[in-house]
Structure 1
Amino acid sequence: MNTFDLDELRGILRGMGGADEAALDGDIAETEFGYLGYDSLALLELCNQLERRYSIQISDDAVLNMPTPAKAVEYVNSLLMAEERA
Structure 2
Amino acid sequence: MSARIYQRPKNAMQSGKALLDQWILDFAPAEARKPDPLMGWSGSGDTQTQVQLRFATMAEAQAYAAKHGIAATVHATPPRRLKLQSYADNFR
TM-score range, shorter chain: under 0.3
Write 1 or 2 for the structure with the bigger share of helix. 1
Write 1 or 2 for the structure with the bigger share of strand. 2
Compare CA radii of gyration and give the structure with the larger one: 2
Higher relative contact order (CA 8 A, sep 6+): 1
